[in-house]
């Protein structure tokens, strides 16, 4: 971890880098200037080059155009986990969409932008792509993380993917596709005024061609203040970008980057035009402030895609759970010709609060009661769109004071969604009676008028201390491994273990290695292998290191231990 956020030189599941760290002090940024001459010419794809159909048409009539959209595949050179998921995605989309006119990938094809990662991506893609589908890929921030200059990273992207330019405009069966590029490896993204000016020119051309048709725009990072997860969008030239699209209500803007799931209704946003997120083929990320953490347990299972069907008077966007081989949620339907006054996916579209049914129950899970914590189990609430969170309040019955208050996800991102839901309440006093009250919140922040309540008492005694023990305290060289046992570990809530030099302070400096905890019966066991270090240059013979156990996604240190790396 670094600078108060997870150091995503390493992802939570296979120690691979993800999008969010390389924050300003650590990003491999060679500049924000454009690295290549821009190709402004339109490339028209003849009608004969593509045909489309779908096995999931809403009304049985054949659409004019069909194309899948995916993003954030994150192919890694040292692991085949995301490659296997990508293969599953391609094969499943070929099954449910057997005739595609185009195939879009909205950035982060790779984890580091290495040539070997592009080779893996393209080898999987080329043997499974449909011959009549036009391939259109956008570059993402991860595709710059190869140590090359911006210009050379872009050249490598073009060489390996076969794209004709870093950003470009194609016409497929009379419909306009405008593909943009983030201009460097910055996590939040960079879209220059020059590129946005070019975007405006292409929009004018598309609108002049046929103002009644949708215009499809693709870019890796989202526009802040639009879709679910757009807090991870770009700030520089944000208003210029938005206002350029604002003049064209027929625009549908597709973005990736966030890893936020398609299940949340806010994944689509309409105000002056339509924006929609594309989820991920790698792993889940979520909004902060919930006890399950931004990257909850089993987040690596997520794999989703969009399928877009275009008709003469509407666009239907379907959400696919690749990991579940099924659809999720109702399809989004956008009518044409576009009129923003008739938009239905607006940010104020839902005023109905969720509710608990009359037979809903809340109880204490007695076997999980400790001196410092209670576990509750309750029936999930209902909502017209989606129950997103629960607000849990624990009050000391004797003093009437609030002892603990937090938000928890409904775990809507799981398949199936758990019902009843079990949540742990920690940091309570021993031998104390508490009243637990639970309210439900939907995706738009509406809170239930009714709540569930239950009384629970913590056990007498003192909570057991968390301890870390090692199979040995001196390692035989920098390749030697060590068995690690963490006793009295709590049920994971983004708890993690990081490795640091003995005298370094977590936070200001990145971890040498880290992982999320996996706990069974209060015990977390794993093998530390230096081959997985994300900062191997700091791991040396003759040096002493500390393993630190942290609560949550910050730097709340609970326990630590040390070992020395000896000479082999």
- The domain segmentation of the chain, as residue ranges, is 65-342, 362-457, 467-566
Given CATH 3.90.1150.10, say whether it is the number of domain 362-457: no
Q: What is the pLDDT of residue 59?
A: 52
How does 120-159 read in b/e, with b if 16+ C-beta sit within 10 Å? bbbebbeeebbeebbbbbbbbbbbbbbebbbeebbebbbe
The token pair at 130 is: 């449909």
Q: How far apart are CA 173 and CA 397, in angstroms?
A: 68
Helix (H) / strand (E) element for 204: namely helix 193-209
CA 67 centroid distance within chain: 22
Angle 10-467-366 from CA coordinates, rounded to 5° = 95
Can you name the residues that pair with 335 across neighbouring β-strands? 314
CA 404 centroid distance within chain: 28
Q: What is the pLDDT of residue 543?
A: 96
Q: How far apart are CA 201 and CA 216, in angstroms?
A: 14
Q: How far apart are CA 181 and CA 106, in angstroms?
A: 9
Asked if domains 65-342 and 362-457 share a fold, the reply is no
Q: What is the pLDDT of residue 56?
A: 45
Question: Is the separation of the CB atoms in 527 and 481 below 8 Å?
Answer: yes
Q: What is the pLDDT of residue 55?
A: 41
For residue 420, the tally of other CB atoms under 10 A from its CB is: 14
Given CATH 2.40.10.230, say whether it is the number of domain 467-566: no
Q: What is the pLDDT of residue 19?
A: 31
Q: Which CATH number fits domain 65-342: 3.40.30.10, 3.30.420.40, 3.40.640.10, 3.60.21.10?
A: 3.60.21.10
Q: How far apart are CA 368 and CA 540, in angstroms?
A: 42
Predicted structure pTM score:
0.79
The token pair at 182 is: 């983030």
Angle 251-252-253 from CA coordinates, rounded to 5° = 110
How do 544-551 and 556-566 pair as beta strands?
antiparallel
pLDDT in tens, the chain (568 residues): 333 333 333 333 333 333 333 222 222 222 233 333 333 334 443 332 333 333 444 456 899 999 999 999 999 998 999 999 999 999 999 999 999 999 999 999 999 999 999 999 999 999 999 999 999 999 999 999 999 999 999 999 999 999 999 999 999 999 999 999 999 999 999 999 999 999 999 999 999 999 999 999 999 999 999 999 999 999 999 999 999 999 999 999 999 999 999 999 999 999 999 999 999 999 999 999 999 989 888 899 999 999 999 999 999 999 999 999 999 999 999 999 999 999 999 999 999 999 999 999 999 999 999 999 999 999 999 999 999 999 999 999 999 999 999 999 999 999 999 999 999 999 899 999 999 999 999 999 999 999 999 999 999 987 688 999 999 999 999 999 999 999 988 876 778 999 999 999 998 888 999 998 988 888 999 999 999 998 899 999 999 999 999 987 778 899 999 999 998 7
Expressed in angstroms, the distance from the first to the final Cα of the chain is 29
The token pair at 474 is: 């001196």
Q: What is the pLDDT of residue 553?
A: 72
| Spatial CA neighbour of 535 closest among 172, 128, 22, 122 | 22
């Amino acid at each position: 971890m670094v600078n108060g956020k997870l150091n995503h030189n390493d992802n939570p599941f296979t120690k691979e880098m993800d999008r969010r760290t390389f924050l300003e002090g650590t990003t491999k940024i060679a500049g924000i200037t454009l690295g290549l001459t821009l190709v402004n010419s339109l490339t028209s794809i003849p009608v004969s080059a593509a045909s489309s159909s779908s096995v999931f048409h809403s009304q049985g009539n054949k659409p004019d155009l069909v194309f899948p959209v995916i993003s954030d595949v994150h192919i890694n050179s040292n692991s085949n986990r995301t490659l296997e998921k990508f293969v599953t995605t391609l094969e499943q989309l070929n099954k449910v969409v057997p005739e595609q006119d185009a195939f879009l990938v909205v950035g982060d094809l790779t984890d580091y932008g290495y040539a070997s990662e592009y080779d893996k991506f393209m080898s999987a893609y080329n043997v499974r792509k449909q011959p009549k589908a036009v391939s259109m890929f956008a570059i993402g921030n991860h595709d710059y993380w190869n140590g090359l200059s911006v210009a050379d990273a872009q050249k490598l992207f073009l060489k390996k993917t076969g794209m004709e330019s870093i950003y470009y405009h194609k016409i497929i069966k009379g419909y306009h596709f405008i593909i943009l590029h983030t201009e460097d490896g910055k996590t939040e993204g960079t879209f220059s005024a020059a590129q946005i000016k070019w975007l405006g020119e292409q929009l004018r051309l598309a609108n002049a061609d046929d103002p009644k048709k949708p215009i499809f725009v693709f870019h890796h990072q989202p526009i802040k203040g639009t879709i679910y997860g757009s807090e991870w969008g770009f700030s520089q030239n944000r208003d210029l970008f938005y206002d350029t699209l604002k003049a064209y209500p027929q625009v549908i803007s597709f973005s990736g980057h966030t890893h936020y799931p398609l299940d949340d209704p806010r994944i689509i946003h309409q105000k002056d035009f339509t924006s929609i997120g594309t989820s991920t083929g790698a792993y889940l990320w979520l909004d902060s402030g919930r006890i399950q953490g931004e990257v909850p347990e089993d987040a690596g299972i997520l794999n989703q895609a969009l399928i877009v069907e275009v008709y003469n008077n509407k666009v239907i966007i379907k959400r696919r759970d690749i990991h579940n081989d099924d659809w999720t949620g109702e399809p989004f339907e956008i009518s044409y010709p576009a009129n923003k006054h008739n938009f239905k996916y607006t940010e104020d579209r839902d005023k109905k609060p969720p509710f608990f049914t009359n037979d809903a129950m809340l109880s204490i899970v007695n076997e999980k009661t400790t001196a410092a914590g209670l576990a509750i189990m309750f029936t999930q609430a209902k909502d017209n769109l989606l129950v997103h969170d629960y607000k849990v309040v624990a009050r000391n019955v004797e003093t009437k004071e609030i002892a603990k208050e937090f938000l928890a996800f409904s775990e809507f991102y799981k398949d199936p969604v758990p019902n009843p839901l079990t949540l742990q309440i920690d940091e309570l006093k021993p031998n104390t009676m508490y009243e637990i009250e639970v309210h439900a919140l939907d995706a738009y922040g509406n809170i239930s008028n009714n709540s569930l309540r239950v009384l629970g008492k913590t056990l007498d005694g003192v909570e057991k201390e968390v301890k870390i023990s090692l199979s040995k305290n001196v390692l035989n060289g920098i390749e030697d491994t060590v068995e690690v046992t963490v006793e009295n570990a709590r049920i994971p809530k983004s708890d993690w273990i990081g490795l640091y030099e003995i005298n370094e302070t977590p936070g200001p400096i990145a971890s040498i290695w880290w992982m999320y905890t996996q706990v069974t019966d209060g015990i977390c066991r794993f093998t530390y292998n230096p081959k997985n270090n994300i900062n191997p240059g700091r791991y040396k013979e003759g040096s002493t290191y500390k393993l630190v156990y942290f609560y949550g996604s910050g730097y709340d240190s609970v326990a630590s231990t040390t070992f020395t790396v000896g000479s082999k």
